[in-house]
Structure 1
Amino acid sequence: MPSLLTHDRRPNTKHSRYTTLTKDHMIVTSPHGRDYLLRDLIETLIINNELSARPSDDWRSQALRAAPRDHFVPDRAWVPSRDLSGGYVIDHRIDPDDWLLAVYRDTLLVTKRGDGDIIDTSVPATSAVSRPGVVMRFLELLQPQPGDRVLEVGTASGWTAGLLAHRVGDGNLITIEIDPELSTTAKQNLSKLGLAPIVVTGDATMGSTVREEFDRIHVTCGVRNVPQGWTSQLRPGGVMVLPWMPAHGQRGEILKLQAPLISPWLIGRFCGSTSFIMMSGQDVDIPTSGRRADDESSWTSMRPTQVMEAMPRGFGIFLTAVAPDLAITKAKREEHNDRAAFVMELASLRDDSYATIVADPAYDRTCMTQSGRGLGDILFQAYRQWVRLGKPGRDRFGLWIGPDREVIWLDRPSNAIGARNR
């Protein structure tokens, strides 16, 4: 259930034919054959510092060749725009050229929207093949070694399972997928390449029932609370990498957790901004805002755009620490009172408080309409506090995870700035 980071437009040029109408028999002598496109993708990842400049020394480059991405993409998929508001369909049966070109770009491919059609963007994506650059970053942080015992949460079509199986060996990888249809497809995709990791269909919240301890845990779906089942199965000295996605907004953080040798607590550092499809059971129902009798309006000199620009620079982590139940449900430019304005909506995860914040360019101030606990005031107060601390970036924050709670700290583990129960 992969990353939602994407490219933003469809190619507007036609290319010579380089495939037949079946993916299993490709003409690779053309300049646009699969091998050429894979080499081009690897060069792109090297330029973006997502692969080593010496591919022969980087196991990930070898794994990309051993588990080619096109083996794990269905005939029909959706290529989203960068802001996820649009995109286009690729269909191997109609245009295999465009299909293969999209598969070997550094872009996300949505492969499933529940039981609906992939072109219906009103239905949230439920499965995708992650952007290669994001996959390489996760595997770099995970640092699996040959022979390591690895648990993967979220098999999807099986691509990252194939990459990991090439590295650690089939029998050392257990990958869990809750969707039976995806699980079956993943097994078939892997088998065609001669790969046979242990694919389990079921809920991964409690960890693995096949094995009790792992050297590495690789999570491919957004997680709000790290399940106890995973932390208890990570051996001392082990590493877990996951998309940590608290409900403060639409994005999250890449979190690398390590299990100390002599402590029941896991220690984590934040390694970059990301966005993934949420894990089943961890998405939260957020109340829809609406005007009520106790609404109060006020003005402020703060701008919601300041907040959104600061989110990936460390403020998102700080906000989760000091206001863990605050959710940003909307943050975009839209028509408001017949004028273009930046509109932000806030909701609470524990009561019916809400706020609507409108920054109208015709005014020097921002209007807040809120009810309940004053979520707009809480948001801007947190922002001002973050600024007073020197605008600390993600590299200054860390996370402790214990048996019953998560603790966010700043600069050193003893300087806790927020905690929440697991």
Structure 2
Amino acid sequence: MTVKDSAVLRRALADRLAEAGALRTAPWRQAVEAVPRHEFLRGGFFERAGDAWRAVPADADGWLERCYADESLVTQIAGTIVPGDIRGEILREPTSSSTLPSLVVRMLEDLQVGDDDRVLEIGTGTGYSTGLLCHRLGDDRVVSVEVDAEVSRRASVGLGSCGYFPELVIGDGLAGYKDGAPYDRLVATCGVLELPHTWIDQTRPGGIILATLCGWMHASELAQLTVGTDGVAHGRLLTGHVSFMLARPQSPPPLGMLPDLDSGKERTTQVGADVLDDWDARFVAQLAAPHTQRLSLTGTDTTQHVLIDVQAGAWAVLTQHGEQWVVRQGGAVQLWDAIEDHLLRWRADGCPSLDRFQVIVTPEGQRVSWQKV
């Protein structure tokens, strides 16, 4: 297909996003139809190959059409590896991607920008969402921060090829970019365990912050907050099972050697590990233990469901015996006690859905609560 054909693909993508309800207003439709996503994927991308990843170069059959599919396309593996670096397959974890367009556009719509607003974007990535912002607002109203210098450089090339020249900053996005503050809007295209108060400090009163709240058990939701004159941000979860890669400084540490799971204190529990298969329940569990990682060890007769907080030096292992669940815990804190208590209180309140959750961020920290059903 030719570059001219990409205009057809962009219009078709806009139609699909509008039909799905992600694309809702004319200015953002104009941006989707104008900004060529393929220019930000000239280096190719990775696709799944079982448990591994394999490269799809830009000259592969179907590459251009894939650029306009509503799917996330991985562009970097293990912090440094790009598609042109490998032949065959790789088993490492993705570290950068072009987020699926429906999520990008939904977030930009939820940001509720005005024509004169200035926006700080946390996580430049490929630069596609940055390009949409530039088309909508103009280069001088967009600042984008990226922690990875090489990722930022590639985004700059893609943006420049489209005629966009926003301010691109290399640095820790959790610190924002105070030199350009205050901003009218702030949007984060990475997940965070806790929304940094620096973002609130750099957003004007009445401004909106859009960010994904995560935990190390991989349940996450989009939070929309409004900054008050008192430096406190209030908001809610928009829901929809939104998922982003975590901000790199908040990535979970290696588990290392597992503790002695036969030690610790054992008791029966009212809540089994199977509850963590439910997205909402897992999100609630993360509120009690955001630094907890989860894994399963399958033996001949039983499966051990292991939770570990490396930073706190705490662990819990749950096993099922018939219809009864048993937990054994060890370390500095009783990890499952905190999770079980949180889940039981949520159940007692009627298991409210995540759109009934409120988020408050003060200089002292973040608080997430829910309304009873």
Please indicate the TM-score interval, normalised by the length of the shorter structure: 0.7 to 0.9
Q: Is residue 2:349 matched to residue 1:384?
A: no
1:98 corresponds to which residue? 62
* Matched letter for residue 123 of structure 2: G
Question: What are structure 1's unaligned runs of at least 5 residues?
Answer: 1-18, 20-25, 413-422
Q: Separation in 1 of the partners of 2:166 and 2:249? A: 25
Is the CA contact 1:145–1:167 (under 8 Å) kept in the aligned structure 2? no
Corresponding residue for residue 227 of structure 2: 259
Equivalent in the alignment of 1:43: 15
Whichever residue aligns with residue 366 of structure 2, its letter is E
User: TM-score under structure 1 normalisation?
Assistant: 0.78
The one of 100, 107, 126 equivalent to 2:71 is 107
Q: Which amino acid in the other structure matches residue 368 of structure 1?
A: V
Does 2:330 match 1:371?
Answer: yes
1:11 aligned residue? none
Contact 2:294 2:307 in 1 (8 A): yes
Task: Answer yes or no: is the 8 Å Cα contact 2:289–2:339 preserved in 1.
Answer: no
CA 1:300/1:232 → structure 2, altered by over 3 Å: closer, same or farther? Answer: closer
How far off is 1:266 after superposition?
Answer: 0.6
- Partner residue, 2:284: 318
| 2:185 aligned to which of 187, 191, 216 | 216
1:337 aligns with 2:299: yes
Q: Amino acid of the residue matched to residue 330 of structure 1?
A: L
SS at match of 1:106: coil
Residues 76, 90 of structure 1: 8 Å contact kept: yes
CA distance in 2, matches of 1:301, 1:49: 40
Letter of the 1:110 counterpart:
V
Deviation at 1:343, TM superposition (A): 5.2
Post-superposition shift, 1:142? Answer: 0.6
Map of 1:250 onto structure 2: 218
Q: TM-score, normalised by structure 2?
A: 0.87
Alignment partners' CA distance in 1, 2:235 and 2:254: 27
Instruction: Give the drift of 1:86.
Output: 4.9
Letter of the structure 2 residue corresponding to residue 281 of structure 1: P
Paired residues of 1:80 and 1:110 also in contact (CA < 8 A): no
Partner of 2:16, secondary structure, is helix
CA distance in 1, matches of 2:17, 2:51: 26
Shift of 1:234: 0.3
SS at match of 1:409: strand
Q: CA deviation at 1:155?
A: 0.8
* CA deviation map 1:324-356 (0-9, x unaligned): 45514226xx7x2236x7653212255222122
Residue number among 262, 274, 280 corresponding to 2:248 in the alignment: 280
Go from structure 1 to structure 2 and tell me whether the alpha carbon gap of 1:121 and 1:141 turns closer, same or farther (over 3 Å shift).
Answer: farther
Instruction: Give 1:359 shift.
Output: 4.5
Question: Which of residues 83, 88, 108 in structure 2 aligns to 1:139?
Answer: 108
**What is the CA RMSD across the aligned residues, in angstroms?**
2.7
Using the alignment, how far apart are the partners of 2:291 and 2:160 within structure 1?
45
1:131 Cα shift?
Answer: 0.8
- Asked whether the 8 Å contact 2:215–2:291 carries over to 1, the reply is no
Quote how far apart the aligned CAs of 1:37 are. Answer: 2.8
Change in 2 beyond 3 A, CA 1:358/1:35? farther
The whole-number CA distance in structure 2 between the counterparts of 1:78 and 1:207 is: 29
| 1:3 corresponding residue in structure 2 | none
**In 1, distance between residues paired with 2:368 and 2:351?**
16
Flag the 1:195–1:117 CA change in 2: closer, same or farther, 3 A.
closer
Question: Partners of 1:359 and 1:117 in 2: how far apart?
Answer: 43
Q: CA separation in 1, counterparts of 2:196 and 2:339?
A: 28
- Structure 2: 5+ residue stretches without partners: none
Identity %: 25
What SS class does the counterpart of residue 175 from structure 2 fall into?
coil
Give the aligned residue type for 1:64: V
Q: In structure 1, the residue corresponding to 2:277 is in which secondary structure?
A: helix
Contact 2:120–2:142 under 8 Å retained in 1: yes
Mapped to 1, the partners of 2:89 and 2:221 lie a distance apart of 27
Q: Which moved more, 1:277-286 or 1:151-160?
A: 277-286
Measured against aligned partners, the alpha-carbon deviations of 1:354-383 in whole angstroms (never above 9, x if no partner) come to 1222447xx333343432344334433432
Cα gap change, 1:318 to 1:301, in 2 (>3 Å): closer
Residue 61 of structure 1, aligned match among 20, 24, 29: 29
Contact 2:37 2:68 in 1 (8 A): yes
Contact 1:116 1:123 in 2 (8 A): no
Hey, what does 2:168 align to over in structure 1? 199
2:143, 2:166 within 8 Å by CA — same for their partners in 1?
yes
